[in-house]
Chains A and B, each alone.
Chain A
Amino acid sequence: MKLAYLGVLAFILLATGWLEIVLRTRVYRRWKRLLITIAVPVVVFVIWDLYAISAGHWGFDSDTTTGIVLPGNLPIEELLFFIVIPIASVLSLEAVRSVKSWPVGDESTHAAGEAR
């Protein structure tokens, strides 16, 4: 069961990946925007995670994780978590937009109406 945590992450990718095809979310197709999007929460939450691990807030079961650990005792699953969740979140946002067409705020550039 070393792959349990990884399995959860794989499930999340599968459970959201079909949206790209069936709802035409076009999130993976906009991969540059997606990569930059991922980078922001990765940096912020890896820092939080490293602090929490060092302060003993939480820990990870060695029987259900791969044992591949990054500097700072960060399991590789945790880094992947902060990549997978933003992808799933954006797919969810764009899936609802595909169906409902509610305004999200990026319908045009400089949509905030700021003086330009």
Chain B
Amino acid sequence: MTYTQLAVIGVVVVVLIDLFVARTRLVTRRAFWVPYAIIVFFQLVTNGVLTGFAIVTYNGDVIIGESTPVNGPPPFIGEGRLAFAPVEDLLFGFALVLLSLVTWVWLGRRGIQRTPLAGPPIWRRDPEHAKPETASGSRVPGA
């Protein structure tokens, strides 16, 4: 199979796992899509380094675009590439990130280190997420 085909299948399978197997339903939550938007920006940057400097090279037979050239970087945008990387990498990355987060949330729902919950940021004085016993504890000395 081509990378294009595998990448599409990968996304579909992981979304199905999210919705119907783990039933974490992350793809229905903004608590997933906002972090994902941040992640995909940094993916374009870091993967742009990996692909633009040809640290990782691709075979044109299995992607929409052409093979990574022997001399010089691949196209920055267009010809099946975005920020030097094959567009298939966006699907690959989405599947990897979603599978990771589905696993993390699924474990939490099973009660595996569900707590301590995240937050609050250090600039917030009132720890609204904290358990009562820690809220009055050492977190904000003198407050």
Interface residue ranges, A against B (CB under 8 Å): 4-5, 8, 11-12, 15, 21-27, 29-30, 32-34, 36-38, 40-41, 44-45, 48, 52, 55-61, 64-65, 82, 85-86, 88-90, 92-106, 108-112, 114
The 5 A-B pairs at the shortest CB distance, nearest first, are namely A106-B108, A98-B119, A86-B100, A33-B113, A102-B31
* Beta-carbon contacts under 8 Å, B28-45 to A: 29-32, 34-36, 38-39, 42
Interface residue ranges, B against A (CB under 8 Å): 2-3, 6, 10, 23-26, 29-32, 34-36, 38-39, 42, 46, 49-50, 53-59, 61-63, 93, 96-97, 99-101, 103-114, 116-122, 128-129
Pair A93/B119 contact, Cβ less than 8 Å:
no
Q: Which of A11, A36, A60 contacts B56 (CB 8 A)?
A: A60
Question: In the complex, which residues of chain B have a beta carbon less than 8 angstroms from the beta carbon of A36?
Answer: 103, 107, 112
Question: In the complex, which residues of chain B have a beta carbon less than 8 angstroms from the beta carbon of A106?
Answer: 105-109, 114
Q: Separation in Å of the A64 CB from the closest CB of chain B?
A: 4
Question: In the complex, which residues of chain A have a beta carbon less than 8 angstroms from the beta carbon of B34?
Answer: 96, 100, 102
Q: A44 — nearest CB in chain B belongs to which residue?
A: B99
Q: How many A-B residue pairs have CB under 8 A?
A: 182
Question: In the complex, which residues of chain A have a beta carbon less than 8 angstroms from the beta carbon of B2?
Answer: 57
Pair B53/A4 contact, Cβ less than 8 Å:
yes
Q: How far is it, in angstroms, between the C-alpha of A64 and the C-alpha of B26 when the chains are bound?
A: 36
Q: How far is it, in angstroms, between the C-alpha of A30 and the C-alpha of B118 when the chains are bound?
A: 10
Q: Separation in Å of the A101 CB from the closest CB of chain B?
A: 7
Question: In the complex, which residues of chain A have a beta carbon less than 8 angstroms from the beta carbon of B108?
Answer: 33, 104-106
Pair A109/B110 contact, Cβ less than 8 Å:
yes
Q: Which of A41, A101, A105 contacts B99 (CB 8 A)?
A: A41
Pair B30/A98 contact, Cβ less than 8 Å:
no
Q: Which of B24, B31, B62 contacts A100 (CB 8 A)?
A: B31
Pair A41/B96 contact, Cβ less than 8 Å:
yes
Question: In the complex, which residues of chain B have a beta carbon less than 8 angstroms from the beta carbon of A65?
Answer: 55
Q: Separation in Å of the B54 CB from the closest CB of chain A?
A: 6
User: Would A98 and B38 be within 8 Å (CB), given that A32-B112, A57-B58, A103-B31 are in contact?
Assistant: no
Q: B31 — nearest CB in chain A belongs to which residue?
A: A102
Pair B35/A95 contact, Cβ less than 8 Å:
yes
